[in-house]
């Protein structure tokens, strides 16, 4: 009986990545656990196989847009993809000092994101604090399913949406369909800060 319980425990332990693993390792683990090939994940997510391979090898850090596409393709929320403990409570409280950075300004995308409700299960929204870079990163643009809200908390930022540029200052808000390619940058030589809310389909 004891041996059987130990064996069952070991099998269960293999079903989830261990704590402390990198995002790259987590994505690879979940994909393989679900018997999803890189080709299949590329087809589902709309991302290239070579890009996904770089992500899994830790050679590229996925943007929020890419992470959402990967998570959705694996039937997960971004929080689940990052390994956050999920709970079914009706309310989620995250203190300022408890925010988890998904991406730092020095990453390939240039954006700095902090997650505001990573552990809330069955979310229909993904809220973040975002600090966009001072310059656009080449031709990089983002698009994903759902809709998005950008509310500027501090500074000034430029949003490029569908080939048109808009300037937003503190207190200004933009609401748009996120499938249209878009990007943003901080203006006036100072990092802006904004609340980003991405509306997703309920899981």
So where are the chain's domains? 2-60, 96-199
pTM: 0.73
Per this entry, what is the length of the chain? 203
Beta carbons of 187 and 158 less than 8 angstroms apart = yes
Sign of CA dihedral 24, 179, 176, 109: positive
| Residue 4, pLDDT above cutoff 70 | no
Residues 116-138 have pLDDT tens digits of 887 777 788 889 999 999 998 88
Mean pLDDT of 188-196: 95
E strands, 84-146, in order: 100-103, 112-115, 125-131
CATH of domain 2-60: 1.10.260.40
Question: Which one has a higher pLDDT value, 13 or 153?
Answer: 153
| 3 Rama sector, left if φ>0, alpha if ψ -120 to 50, beta otherwise | alpha
Residues 67-106 have pLDDT tens digits of 888 988 998 888 788 777 767 778 888 898 888 777 655 5
Fold classification of 96-199 is Jelly Rolls (2.60.120)
Question: In the structure encoding, which two tokens stand for residue 127, read together?
Answer: 């809220």
């Amino acid at each position: 009986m004891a041996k059987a319980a130990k064996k069952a425990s070991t099998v269960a332990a293999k079903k989830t990545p261990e704590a402390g693993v990198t995002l790259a390792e987590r994505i690879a683990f979940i994909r393989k656990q679900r018997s999803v090939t890189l080709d299949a994940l590329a087809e589902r997510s709309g991302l290239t196989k070579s890009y996904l391979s770089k992500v899994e090898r830790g050679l590229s850090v996925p943007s929020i847009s890419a992470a959402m596409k990967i998570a959705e393709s694996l039937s997960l929320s971004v929080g689940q993809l990052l390994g956050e403990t999920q709970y079914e409570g009706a309310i989620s409280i995250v203190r300022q000092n408890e925010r988890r950075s998904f991406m730092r300004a020095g990453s390939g995308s240039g954006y700095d994101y902090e997650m505001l409700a990573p552990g809330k299960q069955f979310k229909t929204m993904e809220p973040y604090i975002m600090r966009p870079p001072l310059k656009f990163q080449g031709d990089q643009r983002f698009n994903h399913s759902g809709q998005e809200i950008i509310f500027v908390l501090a500074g000034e930022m430029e949003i490029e949406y569908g080939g048109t540029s808009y300037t937003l200052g503190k207190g200004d808000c933009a609401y748009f369909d996120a499938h249209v390619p878009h990007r943003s940058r901080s203006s006036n030589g100072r990092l802006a800060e904004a609340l980003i809310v991405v509306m997703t389909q309920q899981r």
